[in-house]
C-alpha cells in the first residue's frame, strides 16, 4: 500500500517517514510516477498475452489479501486516534466518499447507456473504499495527510457492510447481486488481512519496520498482476468496449476529485483538509472492485476497475502537482 504521513515516525510514505521531508517527497513522486507505468505495462501484457495470465484468475482474491495485509502493516495507533480527535472531518469524508462516487457511478452508467456488465462494474468501482495511493497524493498536494489516512482507514474497515449494500441498491437493476456473498468476500479479502497486518505491526514491530520500505512496491506489483488478469479475461472485448469504459472512468474520477474538494469546502474545512478529501473521494480501491467484479459478475465487469487503476494514479499525480503550486491561504 502506498502511504504518506507527516506526524508518525514509524509509518510508510513509500519509504520510512522519518526521512527528511525532501527525501519523502522525492520518494512519493517516484512512486506515483512508476506505479502507473507498472500497471499500464501489466495491462498490455494481459491484452497481448491473455492466455498467459488467465490461469492466475483464481489467485486474485488472495492477491488482494496481500495488498490489504500490507495496508494493515502500515497502520499505527495515531491513525485511529486521529478519528477521535476530528470526528466531524472524518465523518464528512466518509459520507462524501460513499455518496459521491456510488452516485456518480450510477449516473454515468445510465447516462452513457452502458451495457449491464459494464454498468455494474462502474458502479462497483464507485462503491469501493478509498484507494491505496490517496495518502501519497494528499501529501504531494500539501493536504492534510492525517485526515487522509483516517478517512482511508475507516472507509476500508466499514466496506464489508457499506459496499455490498450500495452495490445491491444501485446495480441491482443491471445484474443480480448476492450482497451476502459479497459481504463475506470483503471480510475475507479486506477486513481480516487488514486486522492481521495491524496485529503483526503491534507484535512484530522490528520485523515489520524492516519490511516497511518495500511494502509500497509489493502492493504495486500485486495490483499490476490483478490488472493483467482482469484485462486478460476481457481481452476479446476491450477493442469494442475500451473507449466507452475510458470515458466513464475519466468522468467518474473527475467528479470524485472535484466534488470531494467541494464537499470539504461545504463542510467549512480548511484548505489542507479539502485537498485531502479530494483524493479520498476521487481515488478508489480498484483492486477490490476488480476482485469482486471478477468473482460476482464477469471479467468484462472488472474492466472499469482495471482502467481506473491506471487512470486515477495519473490524474491524481497531475492534480496533486497543480494543487501543490497553489497557496494554502
Query: Is 8 domain-assigned?
Result: no
Residue-wise DSSP of 284-295: B-HHHHHHHHHH
Structure confidence by residue, pLDDT tens digits, 101-132: 999 999 999 999 999 999 999 999 999 998 87
Question: Cα dist. 127→71, 158, 170, 210, 212 in Å?
Answer: 19, 12, 9, 34, 29
Contact status, residue 252 vs residue 101, Cβ threshold 8 Å: yes
Q: Looking at residue 221, which CATH number applies to its domain?
A: 1.20.1530.20
Range of the domain at 276: 21-324
Query: Is 5 domain-assigned?
Result: no
1: which 3 cell numbers?
Answer: 500500500
Q: Give yes or no for residue 195 having a pLDDT over 80.
A: yes
Query: Is 35 domain-assigned?
Result: yes
Query: Is 9 domain-assigned?
Result: no
Query: Is 67 domain-assigned?
Result: yes
Task: Report how many domains make up the chain.
Answer: 1
Query: Is 14 domain-assigned?
Result: no
Q: Is this model's pTM higher than 0.95 or not?
A: no
Q: Mean pLDDT over all residues of the chain?
A: 85
Q: Give yes or no for residue 25 having a pLDDT over 70.
A: no
Query: Is 301 domain-assigned?
Result: yes
Question: Cα dist. 229→64, 156, 195, 222 in Å?
Answer: 12, 23, 26, 11
The torsion region of residue 173 among left (phi > 0), alpha (psi -120 to 50) and beta comes to alpha
Burial of 91: CB neighbours in 10 Å, binned 0-12, 13-18, 19+: middle
Structure confidence by residue, pLDDT tens digits, 61-107: 888 888 888 888 888 777 778 777 888 999 999 999 999 999 999 99
Query: Is 105 domain-assigned?
Result: yes
Contact status, residue 149 vs residue 13, Cβ threshold 8 Å: no
What average pLDDT does the segment 163-168 reach?
94
What per-residue confidence (pLDDT) applies to 206? 87
Amino acid at each position: 500500500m502506498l502511504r504518506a504521513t507527516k506526524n508518525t515516525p514509524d509509518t510508510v510514505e513509500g519509504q520510512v517517514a522519518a526521512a527528511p521531508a525532501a527525501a519523502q517527497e522525492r520518494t512519493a513522486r517516484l512512486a506515483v510516477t512508476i506505479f502507473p507505468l507498472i500497471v499500464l505495462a501489466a495491462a498490455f501484457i494481459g491484452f497481448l498475452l491473455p492466455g498467459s495470465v488467465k490461469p492466475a484468475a483464481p489467485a486474485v482474491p488472495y492477491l488482494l489479501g496481500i495488498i490489504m495485509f500490507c495496508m494493515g502493516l502500515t497502520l499505527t495507533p495515531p491513525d485511529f486516534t486521529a478519528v477521535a480527535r476530528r470526528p466531524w472531518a472524518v465523518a464528512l469524508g466518509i459520507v462524501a466518499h460513499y455518496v459521491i462516487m456510488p452516485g456518480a457511478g450510477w449516473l454515468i452508467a445510465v447516462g452513457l447507456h452502458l451495457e449491464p456488465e459494464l454498468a455494474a462494474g462502474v458502479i462497483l468501482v464507485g462503491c469501493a473504499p478509498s484507494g491505496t495511493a490517496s495518502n501519497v497524493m494528499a501529501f504531494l498536494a500539501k493536504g492534510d495527510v492525517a485526515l487522509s489516512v483516517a478517512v482511508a482507514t475507516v472507509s476500508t474497515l466499514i466496506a464489508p457492510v457499506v459496499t455490498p449494500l450500495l452495490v445491491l441498491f444501485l446495480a441491482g437493476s443491471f445484474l443480480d447481486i448476492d450482497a451476502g456473498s459479497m459481504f463475506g468476500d470483503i471480510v475475507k479479502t479486506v477486513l481480516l488481512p487488514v486486522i492481521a497486518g495491524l496485529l503483526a505491526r503491534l507484535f512484530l514491530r522490528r520485523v515489520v519496520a524492516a519490511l516497511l520500505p518495500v511494502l509500497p512496491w509489493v502492493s504495486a506489483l500485486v495490483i499490476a498482476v490483478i490488472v493483467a488478469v482482469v484485462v486478460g479475461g476481457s481481452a476479446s472485448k476491450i477493442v469494442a468496449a475500451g473507449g466507452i469504459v475510458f470515458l466513464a472512468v475519466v468522468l467518474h474520477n473527475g467528479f470524485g476529485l472535484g466534488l470531494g474538494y467541494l464537499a470539504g469546502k461545504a463542510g467549512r474545512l480548511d484548505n489542507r483538509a479539502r485537498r485531502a478529501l479530494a483524493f479520498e473521494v476521487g481515488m478508489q480501491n480498484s483492486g477490490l472492485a476488480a476482485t469482486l467484479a471478477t468473482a460476482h459478475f464477469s471479467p468484462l465487469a472488472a474492466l472499469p476497475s482495471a482502467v481506473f487503476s491506471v487512470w486515477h494514479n495519473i490524474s491524481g499525480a497531475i492534480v496533486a502537482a497543480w494543487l501543490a503550486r497553489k497557496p494554502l491561504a
